[in-house]
Amino acid sequence: MTVTTPTLISYSPATGEPVGEVPITAPAKIPAIVAGAREAQKAWGAITGHQRADILRPAGQAILDNKDELARLLSAEQGKPLADGLSEVTHTGEKLMEEVDEIAEAVAPRELTGEGMVTTLRYDPLGVVAAITPWNFPMLMPQWMALPALVAGNAVVLKPSEQTPLIAQAYADILNRFLPPHVLQVVHGADDQGRALVASDVNLIAFTGSKATGQKIMAAAAEGLKRVILELGSKDPLIVLEGADLDAAAEFAARNSFRNCGQVCVSTERIYVQGTIAEAFTEKLAQAAKAYRSGDPFAEGSVLGPMVMREQKEHVARQIEDAVAQGAKLVLGGGDHPGNAMPATILRGVTHEMDIMKTETFGPVAPIMTFEHPDEAVSLANDSEYGLGAVVFGPEPLARDVAARIDAGMIGVNRGIHGAKGSPWVGARHSGIGYHMGPDGHRQFCQVRTITRNA
């Protein structure tokens, strides 16, 4: 009797056609997979971070050597335009080669001296890390979690989104050309596999996704006191003050509201514009938004691909319809469109009574609300359970003063939120626990230990 392994089929968001398939991991097999990872971690964790960096570094070049093929797979599976897919793949390969040394340096032992003693501060491996990653950046996000975990000496069990399993598997396959067996393993599936992985004998769970799922992971992890790094929902505000460079503000608002079809954790999802400049800003944003045409991700010059799945498109459409029903005005976009297509949409006259200003949208929508005084803008920006990113455009030093009063982890003034080299990626309030990137973020994947001796 032949036993057929069930498969997870990945479908194109643009055409609905299958792109490929991977075997589904039976939840009952996950404890054995984790046990294999724990055994493999012993030798992997015994070498230095710099040695691990040397082993992993060639994987970055291997990604770049195959970037065209990987980009086509990524765009076919996730739906983003091919140019964006190529950008993600290229960035992943280049960052891998750059960051392995940065991570190795961050987790290297340090010495502290004083009062007749010497303390060695060690950043040791935790053991096995479960990495549960989303579909919006389906190659970069696995690297965000797997790379620092691996260089820190952990073994990793990766569960990518069931929407984008193929590109995540391709990424892991490249790393596994260089890694010892079982140091990096992939499990495929949906909720059942995620629950089994969280319940297994892992030491840390790194997750990016919805607040609701993050709460379930945190509750499940509590029983075993497992560590968690959770990047959760967001509803990032943009404040535009009188005296701001409106061309720059509108260009930023368009790019940050619509890129990747609005499916970015730090997309601009709420725009607050001072009343005296609201009309001029809205006109400039509408003009900038015309460049974000929805179409085939493989078409020449395509800027806005489809949403990754029908359910996500329907959620965005419901929010738009609800806002319009409550009095918001469509400046651009909206309407019913075939398949998973969702055009760049601008709404004005929104209020905080509307769901689109409260619940995460994760779609290409720019809702605009006016305010009269900067204090009101701060109050509106902070009227949310989330606090991942925020941006303020306006004259200095007023813009910096407003930014300092926003309750978010990352704030940009007259620019985006991305910080200088070494800055962590960090949220506040319900946008997450723990953080990524920079030396402090890399050390989240370590057990800190001190060993003290007499000087």
Q: Report the alpha-carbon distance of residue 153 to residue 183 in Å, rounded.
A: 9
Q: Report the alpha-carbon distance of residue 269 to residue 273 in Å, rounded.
A: 13
162 is catalytic: no
pTM here is 0.96
pLDDT 10s digits, 347-390: 999 999 999 999 999 999 999 999 999 999 999 999 999 999 99
Mean pLDDT computed over every residue of the chain: 96
Long-range contacts of 84-93 (CB under 8 A, 24+ apart): 84/259, 84/260, 84/305, 85/297, 88/137, 88/139, 88/140, 89/63, 89/139, 90/64, 91/140, 92/63, 92/139, 92/140, 92/143, 92/171, 93/60, 93/61, 93/62, 93/63, 93/64, 93/67
* Marked catalytic residue, from 99, 231, 269, 360: 231
Tell me the average pLDDT across 171-193: 98
Domains of the chain, with CATH numbers?
7-232+431-454 (3.40.605.10), 236-420 (3.40.309.10)
Burial of 6 (0-12, 13-18, 19+ CB in 10 A): exposed
In this prediction, residue 2 has a pLDDT band, given cuts at 50, 70 and 90, of low
pLDDT for the residue 294: 86
Q: Are 35 and 201 in contact (CB under 8 A)?
A: yes
446 is catalytic: no
pLDDT 10s digits, 62-92: 999 999 999 999 999 999 999 999 999 999 9
pLDDT value at 300 more than 90: no
* Marked catalytic residue, from 162, 261, 265, 360: 265
